[in-house]
Amino acid sequence: MLAPEGGRVLFVAGQIGVEGGTALAAQFQAALANVAAVVEEAGGTVADVGRLTIYVTDMEAYRGSLPEVGAAYRAVFGKHFPAMALVAVTELVDPRAVVEVEATAVILRRALPARRLAALGARAALSTDR
């Protein structure tokens, strides 16, 4: 992935989605939503994500729920398809988690979202060129 001049590379640590329930597709959607929230907090969108690594504890369950997994993916990332890798692992740190998602994004300089500006305060809004 080439970062355009002025772009910032964001590495998103593994996100789980146990708040989504126990089903793989539900956890996958929640994990992707967590990735999206991190990227948005940094001033980007899911379109800025250039790579996803998906870790699953049960490859057969993943294969068996492809329609649901696809729907979960599209609910968060729409028609944006970055480079992806799927890796089977024996377990994740949180024993409730069946899927974990890591991401890399390149965020171009653009106006910060209103909620981010509010969080930073009006003074920070004047100097977004950092």
- pLDDT tens-digit profile of 68-77? 999 999 999 9
pLDDT recorded at residue 108? 85
pLDDT recorded at residue 128? 42
Q: Do residues 62 and 69 touch, judged by C-beta distance below 8 A?
A: yes
Place of tokens 């994004």: 105
- pLDDT tens-digit profile of 23-44? 999 999 999 999 999 999 999 9
8-125: which CATH topology? 60s Ribosomal Protein L30; Chain: A; (3.30.1330)
pLDDT greater than 70 at residue 60:
yes
Q: What percent of the chain has pLDDT over 90?
A: 75
The residue-averaged pLDDT of 74-88 equals: 98
Query: What pTM did the predictor assign?
Result: 0.81
